[in-house]
A and B are shown apart, each in its own frame.
Chain A
């Protein structure tokens, strides 16, 4: 039940970001300066935290989506759905820990100096 709620919430959040992301990328058709100006906001510490949140949402949605597919198409899927949920959560925690440095590292250098 809660994995279903989380799948919906993360899905809607990712979809709304996708609209913004297509629009900001469309600025490459306006001018290199305008594109670089907008992309610069993606490199600020606050937006870096939002990016970390985006990665969190996408990773959960991706891993849980694979679990949903396994439940639907694998004959033993429904029997192991709970174990698969804990695998999803465990893998998500590991990947999120691994994403801290690459995603938040440059923001930390901006805030604390390098």
Chain B
């Protein structure tokens, strides 16, 4: 008895196995949803999963960075009344606070931008409005991150 008889109608060939064999006297049917060479490659990467994970990881870090920032700026040592150019100059004299503020800027901007991207995706229904709102969001985000980074790196306490 040969293992390749007439091809049963309605059944495609199964990758790496003949239709009939000693172990499968009935024609072999491919398992549903099995990945084969014919399965189209996914054109979507893991972006949404990475974004989801980023929101949680950056969120934990931001809780520390932002609440620490609020404590320093609004609570300790007279609250907001002591904030001024001299106060900023004193803090940015230390690399520790420069890195703190830089990390806070980048993480908060990206966290917020991704959050607003989700909100736009949820509520803006027309493709054109989605496109324009996201274009505006990404432009504003990139500009603000670059501006803030430039300010931290080029800060000059003796500007005057």
Tell me the count of chain A residues lying within 8 A, CB to CB, of chain B: 38
A39 / chain B contacts, CB cutoff of 8 Å: 83-84
Known contacts A8-B119, A102-B74; is-contact A18 B81 (Cβ 8 Å)? no
- Output the nearest chain A residue to B108 by Cβ-Cβ distance: A18
Known contacts being A35-B85, A102-B74, is A29 close to B151, with CB within 8 Å? Answer: yes
B18 close to A (CB within 8 Å): no
Identify the stretch in B1-9, B25-33, B34-42, B55-63 within 8 Å (CB) of chain A at 4 or more residues: B55-63
What sequence of 0s and 1s flags, for each residue 17-42 of chain A, a beta carbon within 8 Å of any chain B beta carbon?
A: 01100110110110111011001001
12 more CB-based (< 8 A) A-B contacts, given A26-B147, A29-B159: A11-B115, A12-B116, A18-B108, A18-B144, A22-B144, A28-B88, A31-B159, A33-B160, A43-B80, A51-B80, A102-B76, A106-B78
Given that A42-B80, A105-B79 are contacting pairs, would A62 and B144 also be in contact in the complex, using a CB cutoff of 8 Å? no
Q: What is the distance, in angstroms, from B25's C-beta to the closest C-beta of chain A?
A: 46
Whether B133 is near chain A, meaning CB under 8 Å from some CB there, is no
- Known: A43-B81, A106-B81. Contact between A62 and B63, CB under 8 A? yes
Which residues 42-81 of A have a CB within 8 angstroms of B?
42-43, 48, 51, 55, 58-59, 62, 65-66, 68-69, 72-73
Whether the pair A66, B140 counts as a contact (CB closer than 8 A) is no
Interface string of A83-103 (1 = CB under 8 A from B): 000000000000000010011
